[in-house]
Each structure stands twice: as C-alpha cells, then as structure tokens.
A and B are shown apart, each in its own frame.
Chain A
Amino acid sequence: AQSVTQPDIHITVSEGASLELRCNYSYGATPYLFWYVQSPGQGLQLLLKYFSGDTLVQGIKGFEAEFKRSQSSFNLRKPSVHWSDAAEYFCAVINDYKLSFGAGTTVTVRA
C-alpha cells in the first residue's frame, strides 16, 4: 500500500516569506496525491491535487505543489505567506479508494 511521509512536524515562517512543506510518497504505480489544510478545530479543506499530467499543480489560496517522480516527492509551496496561512497541512495519497494521510506539518507565521 502506498503511504506518505511528512518529515517536518513544525515549521515557523515570517509573514511575507516563502514556505515549502515536504511530502514524500512510497514507491508504487502513479500516485494520486493531495494537500489539505486544517485550521484549529476545523475540518480539512482541499488545497490541490495531482492525478497525472503537468508536474506543477496550482491550488487555492496561492499554493502550488510540484510532483517529482525521481525524488518521490510532492512538496507544497507558497511564495509569500500571510498570517492566515497558520494552520496544519496534510499530504495524502489514495490507497485502493481510501485516503492515507501523513502526520501533518504545523505552520506558525510570525509577524
């Protein structure tokens, strides 16, 4: 079964700085990958998804992610972080029609 790993538990970034969150997936056939965001005490919101095709995927809220098969990665990026981007971010992969999630990365934004 495919799985994802998020190596960073917590990242702190200054407002206006760039952000990159790492996600590595296990070997398998073409993975179907997602990034979700969760504000404290809330449900998850889909930021973007990768199914096939272009390796650079654009999402909502100014986020993008790049699929790199050679590195088994699907890293999430944002050029300039806003204070409202403080949240927990989850990478996920489809496994036999079920989603498997990474443990999440908490992002703190400092003024």
Chain B
Amino acid sequence: DGGITQSPKYLFRKEGQNVTLSCEQNLNHDAMYWYRQDPGQGLRLIYYSQIVNDFQKGDIAEGYSVSREKKESFPLTVTSAQKNPTAFYLCASSIAPSGVPYEQYFGPGTRLTVT
C-alpha cells in the first residue's frame, strides 16, 4: 500500500537533547512537508521541500532543521534551541507543484514530549 510512514508514534526526550523524527513516503511524490500541531492552533508549517536537496523554511522554522537527501525521506530534527518542542508533528507529501493545485497526504503523526 502506498502511503506515508512516521516513526515513532510516541517519543520522549529530556530537555536539551536533539531528536530526529522520521518521515518516509512511497507515493513517488516530489514535495514533502512538516507541520506542528498544538491544541486550538490548527497546523503550522515548519519546513517544506519541493525537490531533493532543496528545502524552504515555513512559518515556524526556528529551532528545527531538515534534510532531503532522498525523494522518499524527509527527516525533521528538533534541536535544543526550540523553546517549546512538546507537540504533535505531522509529515505530508504531494505531487510537486507545477502551476496547478494539488492536495497533501498526511502521515499518522509523532507525538513528542520533552521534559
């Protein structure tokens, strides 16, 4: 089955540690995205990548980093510089934009708790 995999589902870390969240897709999509979800705030875009070896900051990129070395993988690192990292993180992918609209498909999410 084609889809998006995020692992792990739950992640616990101590404050001051970096942590990397995994996102893999087998939909052959060019574009991938990371969102953060907090209660009552909807989803906010952290980073996105429209093609391998290229990515752009979203609305709340501070304290996060990404890489896009392979088409199917877009890992997100939450660094110790992120002031409030506890949240639900969602990865998504879509056909690369080419002047026409498209929909994004989402993974099941990773809940990160930092204490």
A binds B: yes
Q: List 7 A-B contacts (CB under 8 A).
A: A36-B106, A43-B90, A44-B92, A46-B103, A98-B45, A99-B33, A99-B45
5 shortest A-B CB distances, which residue pairs? A32-B101, A43-B106, A101-B42, A97-B97, A44-B106
Known contacts A43-B90, A98-B48; is-contact A90 B109 (Cβ 8 Å) = no
Q: How far is the CB of B67 from chain A (nearest CB, A)?
A: 19
Chain A interface size band reads 20 to 34
Asked if B108 and A102 make an inter-chain contact with CB atoms under 8 angstroms apart, the answer reads no
Asked if A49 and B42 make an inter-chain contact with CB atoms under 8 angstroms apart, the answer reads no
Asked if A98 and B50 make an inter-chain contact with CB atoms under 8 angstroms apart, the answer reads no
Contacts of A17 in B (CB 8 A): none
Contacts of B108 in A (CB 8 A): 42-43
